[in-house]
Chain A
């Protein structure tokens, strides 16, 4: 199945959790946040949040700014 993260598409296996997906793309949970359909998914729910086909994720991180 295919999911979209920011502007990139990813092929993922059925039953992949958000926690596993984040790990697979080489990210650490510190300093990032993920939302599905503009709803924040708290980090303690990542392991029980399973990706589904055409799911759209937004992932933000820290950048410099005043």
Chain B
């Protein structure tokens, strides 16, 4: 299968994994392994010195895995730029999942602030992967100001509802010159397969794997679905029809 290329870096896995909500670092680490992901997100928080330092980073810093720090918790472009600089210093990478969602109920991304921040961060040399609404116009604007990918949502974060924005995602995929990563809302391997079959370049999954009954097995299920979906896309799906198209001969048997 064709490799995914983002900012001149090649990925053989098209499944990006979020690290939130796992029951333990060990389960998270095993899920990373079974997913065969090469891109793993990490968030940042002010250190609480009363509590011991969390060692989650050592569970995700592995050869062949690109760390993708996110800017969760910021409310505007200015804060996002600061968070990006902190992330670069802490984790030694200029890759960034830009997410600006000031509204705590629906966690929907702010398109205006995201566009502003993307432009600034791209100029500062960051590889910016912005999390955004499934808005085809915004996606083109982000591409123009230097986004490395666009990451439109299928449904709000953590809802597991799948590709509710499918019609818009199709337009985004058709128009985009940068990779399209479907982020948020993917709740089942079938959703991920659907995204890849449509021509999405990758998916980012977190909740659906982390809170599954068996996260390690679910990570593998997602891996297979993503590979299957991509393989189907490259093999070119058969065309849909509104009336039956016979697949067996209808003559020369009884008559």
Chain B residues with CB under 8 Å of A7's CB are: 46
| Any B CB within 8 A of the CB of A35 | yes
Known contacts A31-B57, A65-B19, A65-B20; is A60 also within 8 Å of B207 by CB? no
A window 1-59: CB within 8 A of B: 5-8, 25, 27, 30-35, 38, 40, 42-43, 58-59
CB distance from B207 to the nearest CB of A (A): 7
Chain A residues with CB under 8 Å of B22's CB are: 64
- The number of chain A residues touching the other chain, given as a range, is 20 to 34
Known contacts A40-B85, A61-B54; is A66 also within 8 Å of B45 by CB? no
B157 touches A63 (CB 8 A): no
Number of residue pairs across A and B with beta carbons under 8 Å? 93
Q: Which of B36-44, B162-170, B192-200 contacts A (4 or more CB under 8 A)?
A: B36-44
CB distance from A37 to the nearest CB of B (A): 11
A65 touches B42 (CB 8 A): yes
A35 vs B47: C-alpha distance in the bound complex, in angstroms? 12
B70 touches A61 (CB 8 A): no
A62 vs B68: C-alpha distance in the bound complex, in angstroms? 11
- When C-beta atoms are compared, the residue in chain A nearest to B184 turns out to be A66
B86 touches A60 (CB 8 A): yes
- When C-beta atoms are compared, the residue in chain A nearest to B204 turns out to be A66
B87 touches A66 (CB 8 A): no
B window 179-222: CB within 8 A of A: 204, 206-207, 210
| Any A CB within 8 A of the CB of B106 | no
CB distance from A19 to the nearest CB of B (A): 14
What 0/1 pattern do residues 49 to 90 of B give for CB contact below 8 A with A? 110011011000000000001101000000000100111011
A40 touches B86 (CB 8 A): yes
Of the residues B18, B21, B42, B204, contact of A62 by C-beta under 8 Å:
B42
A6 touches B47 (CB 8 A): yes
- When C-beta atoms are compared, the residue in chain B nearest to A6 turns out to be B46
| Any A CB within 8 A of the CB of B172 | no
Of the residues A40, A42, A43, A60, contact of B47 by C-beta under 8 Å:
A60
A25 vs B48: C-alpha distance in the bound complex, in angstroms? 12
Known contacts A25-B49, A42-B89; is A65 also within 8 Å of B57 by CB? no
Chain B residues with CB under 8 Å of A5's CB are: 49
B85 touches A61 (CB 8 A): no
Of the residues A6, A31, A40, A63, contact of B91 by C-beta under 8 Å:
A31
**A-binding residues in B (CB < 8 A):** 18-22, 28, 41-50, 53-54, 56-57, 69-70, 72, 82, 85-87, 89-91, 157, 204, 206-207, 210
Cβ contacts A to B, 13 pairs, < 8 Å: A8-B50, A32-B47, A33-B89, A34-B89, A61-B45, A61-B90, A62-B54, A62-B57, A62-B91, A63-B56, A65-B43, A65-B44, A66-B204
Given contacts A40-B89, A65-B42, 9 further A-B contacts (CB under 8 A): A5-B49, A6-B49, A25-B49, A60-B45, A61-B45, A62-B44, A62-B57, A63-B43, A65-B44
